Amino acid sequence: MTLPHPTTDQISLPIVLAVLGDPTRLSIVRYLARKEGVPMNCSKFLDLASKTNLSYHLAKLREAGVTRSEAVGTSRLITLRRDDLDKRFPGLLDSVIAAADGDKDLPAVGTAEVEVSA
């Protein structure tokens, strides 16, 4: 955790909702939820937006307290702050993700289930 993150009780409902109310960011969150536990780096999301623009959206998610970004070498490992969100807003994340999974208008990311390990 190198970059500034809000503490759990600093996470604000309207800000979280506004941040999730953007299709690009909602897609990122949905993908992080599907791959929970596996930290993602930004390049996973390059099909959603340009590198610069992703940097912007990922900063918004981090500043809202939705994700955690850890600097590791030249990468950022991004994870969902599920525990914190569940503590602060019980049930919210689950219902948002469930709703997002059923929304075919959201841009998909990582739908090709190819995992080249080692």
Interface ranges with DNA (CB under 7 A): 18, 22, 24, 41-43, 49-60, 69, 72-76
Asked if 49 interacts with a second copy (CB under 8 A), we say no
Write down the least CB distance from residue 77 to a second copy, Å: 26
Asked if 92 interacts with a second copy (CB under 8 A), we say yes
Using the rule CB under 8 A, give the single segment among 8-16, 39-47, 55-63, 66-74 that binds a second copy.
8-16
Please give the size of the binding site for a second copy, defined by CB under 8 A: 27
Asked if 83 interacts with a second copy (CB under 8 A), we say no
Asked if 96 interacts with a second copy (CB under 8 A), we say yes
d(CA 108, CA 23): 10
The dihedral through the CA atoms of 109, 47, 19, 23 has a sign that is negative
- The residues facing 80 across adjacent strands are 67
The dihedral through the CA atoms of 62, 94, 47, 79 has a sign that is positive
Q: What are phi and psi of 46, to 5 degrees?
A: -65, -15
**Closer of 43 and 86 to DNA (Cβ):** 43
Contacts of 11 by beta carbon, 8 Å cutoff, 6+ apart: 64, 65, 84, 85, 88, 89
Contact residues for a second copy (CB under 8 A)? 12-23, 26, 88-92, 94-96, 98-100, 103, 105-106
